[in-house]
Amino acid sequence: MTRKLYLETFGCQMNVLDSELVMSQLRAQGYEAVADRAAADVVIFNTCSVREHAEQKVWSRLGELREAKADRPDMVIGVIGCMAEREGESIFTRFPHIDILCGPGELDQLPRMVHNACTTSVAPSEGGAGSATVGSPRQVALMGSTTRRSSTYETAKEDNLESLDLARTVSPSDNMRQAYVRITRGCNKFCTYCVVPFTRGPEVHRPPGNIVEEVKMLVGAGALEVTLLGQTINHYIFDHGGGRKTTFADLLYLIHESVPDLPRLRFVTSFPRDFTDLALQAMRDCPRICRYLHVPAQSGSDRILKAMNRGYTAEQYTDFVDRARAMMPDISLASDFIVGFPTETDDDFASTMELVRHCRFKNSFIFKYSPRPGTVAIDRFEDDVPDAVKRSRNNQLLALQGEVCASNNRLMIGKTVEVMVEGESKLVSKRAYPPAKVTLGWEARQGLPAGEAVSLTQLIGRTRGDQVVCFDGERSLKGELLNVEIVDARNLTLFGRRVPMHVAKV
Ligand code: SAH
Ligand code: SF4
Ligand code: F3S
């Protein structure tokens, strides 16, 4: 019997990739993905714990399912990912109707767990510890609850989790043009505010050979852009034994050389302290590596950076930015900031504003500090910056970043850039279909019979520097690499038009 599966993903790119890997395994076992939660036999939430808000969304989804589960006790509900790991079995106190709980470090076990939950029935009277839900016994796999945390734990788990990445299958019919590839799991940094080292476990680096094979497989299936993933990706180092090591810079060169048909190679997220000149040189020397770095600063105040355990000063951060720009003047930089970290004063915040002015980021993701259970910061500091102050600092930083972005964007006018077409612009896709038939101007008419009216819509594309460009084109262009000339820059958005010739992709 084919069971219908609904999988909803929250959180970062790691979770997006985990969902894809899990889905590919479950599909192979006969589960059919559906977009309508109400029609599903199995509902899985792949969750994020990074801020309270991220968890609240999942709590409210689980609340919505309470009644549905009462009506259909055979429906299987799974919570996987970082929130499953962070909450642990205490989640059952609030939501006894959950059947599956699986942390991100145990996802190789998920197909078996889903199968068990779907096929094993437990009468209500049998419910007890570990099997209280009507319909199926609970399936639990958490890193924190396992006894396998020995010195060989990481090695053993790496092999099991590695199998999840290695089992990935993509066929040309999936029409996948952009793909993620994990190179590192977990994080060892223990920034005082952050749950990730607790939910994803210690850093484990994947063997370079497996990474290259995966990239080749994706490119063979049609991928034009591969983004390598890691929480502190530039900290990658693989120890082959016998003194031989592959560094992050080596890995970049290796992929660039081994997969010459890949037009775009990117990576996120970088840790400021770990950037070697060799890694920057690899970016400079390899024309198909996008000159884009997401390298979160978090704060511009040395005192706050210390309290966050980030391991660098604001000056070291700006030195890094200056070094990167000196080597690649066209590099595009993005950052993350936390405002309202405990004890943050107006002066500390002014230093953050100063850092943004200096670094001229393409964009910044700005978050209000959210105290997270289990972290050092929640124990060590009172959450003493009032919410109104956090909000005001958030808005001020956003406004400054907006000004920086607008002035960066104005410098783009007149330039021709390569974009990867990602789809329709949100503004447009909200409008009624079909879009009006229009007669194209010369620039959009390339390859079409002269004067012919076709359906055009506003598309968005992403440059190699990760800027978003809106331009008119046919919907079928999704997934293509094209050249557009930037003709306007309004607020935070670049506007372009297609150009006829195909300039070199590099
Ligand atoms: N590994 C990445 C970031 C992972 S989490 C890095 O270290 O750069 C993504 C972002 O969420 C972080 O960069 C940080 O800005 C934000 N974040 C993490 N924990 C947070 C918390 N407790 N409150 C608010 N923002 C947080
Ligand atoms: Fe969290 Fe810091 Fe690790 Fe990033 S580097 S995942 S912020 S602990
Ligand atoms: Fe969230 Fe886990 Fe990613 S906490 S940000 S899903 S690593």
CA-closest candidate to residue 230, choices 255, 254, 205: 205
Cβ of 200 less than 6 Å from ligand 2: no
- Return the structure tokens found at 184: 């590192």
Mutate to test the pocket of ligand 3, among 8, 48, 185, 187 (most ligand atoms within 8 A of CB): 48
CA-closest candidate to residue 405, choices 362, 364, 366: 362
CA of 274 to the centre of ligand 1 (A): 17
pLDDT at 220: 94
Q: What are phi and psi of 237, to 5 degrees?
A: -155, 130
Cβ of 201 less than 6 Å from ligand 2: no
Asked if 494 and 477 touch (Cβ cutoff 8 Å), the reply is: no
CA of 15 to the centre of ligand 3 (A): 7
Instruction: Give tens-digit pLDDT for 68-111.
Output: 999 999 999 999 999 999 999 999 999 999 999 999 999 999 99
Strand partners, 483: 418
pLDDT at 174: 82
CA of 310 to the centre of ligand 2 (A): 9
For the chain of 506 residues, list the mean pLDDT of each consecutive stretch of 10.
Answer: 94 96 93 94 97 96 93 95 96 95 96 92 44 63 62 58 88 87 96 97 95 97 97 96 96 98 98 95 98 98 98 98 97 98 98 98 97 97 98 98 94 96 71 36 42 71 96 92 93 87 49
Which value, in Å, is the radius of gyration of the alpha carbons in the chain? 24
pLDDT at 434: 34
Give the helix, strand, coil percentages of the chain, each rounded to 5.
Answer: 40, 25, 35
Cβ of 369 less than 6 Å from ligand 1: yes
- Return the structure tokens found at 251: 């890995």
| AA letter at 238 | F
pLDDT at 167: 87
- Proximal ligand: closest to the CA of 199: 3
Cβ of 299 less than 6 Å from ligand 2: no
Single pTM value for the model: 0.91
Cβ of 48 less than 6 Å from ligand 3: yes
pLDDT at 441: 40
Q: Is the peptide bond before 434 cis (omega within 30 degrees of 0)?
A: yes
- Nearest 5°: the CA angle 78, 145, 161 is 65
From atom 7 of ligand 3, which residue's Cα is the shortest distance away?
196
Instruction: Give tens-digit pLDDT for 213-265.
Output: 999 999 999 999 999 999 999 999 999 999 999 999 999 999 999 999 999 99
User: What is the spatial distance between Cα 492 and Cα 263, in angstroms, rounded to a whole number?
Assistant: 27
Residue-range domains of the chain with CATH: 4-145 (3.40.50.12160), 170-290 (3.30.750.210), 291-411 (3.30.750.200), 416-499 (no CATH)
Cβ of 194 less than 6 Å from ligand 2: yes
Q: Is the peptide bond before 345 cis (omega within 30 degrees of 0)?
A: no
Q: Estimate to the nearest angstrom the gap between the alpha carbon of 101 and the chain centroid.
A: 22
Cβ of 187 less than 6 Å from ligand 2: yes
Cβ of 196 less than 6 Å from ligand 2: yes
Mutate to test the pocket of ligand 3, among 13, 16, 82 (most ligand atoms within 8 A of CB): 82
Which atom from ligand 3 is nearest to the alpha carbon of 54?
Answer: 1
Strand partners, 247: 237
Give one word for 19, left, alpha or beta, with left for phi > 0 and alpha for psi -120 to 50: alpha
Say how many C-beta atoms besides its own lie within 10 A of residue 417's C-beta: 21
pLDDT at 163: 86
Sign of the four-CA dihedral 341, 345, 351, 355: positive
DSSP 459: E
Which atom from ligand 2 is nearest to the alpha carbon of 269?
Answer: 4
- Return the structure tokens found at 351: 């230093």
Q: Strand, helix or coil at 147?
A: coil
pLDDT at 137: 78
Listed in sequence order, the residues at least 6 apart from 128 whose beta carbon sits closer than 8 Å to its beta carbon are none
CA of 488 to the centre of ligand 3 (A): 36
Mutate to test the pocket of ligand 3, among 15, 200, 268 (most ligand atoms within 8 A of CB): 15
Cβ of 194 less than 6 Å from ligand 3: no
User: What is the spatial distance between Cα 364 and Cα 395, in angstroms, rounded to a whole number?
Assistant: 12
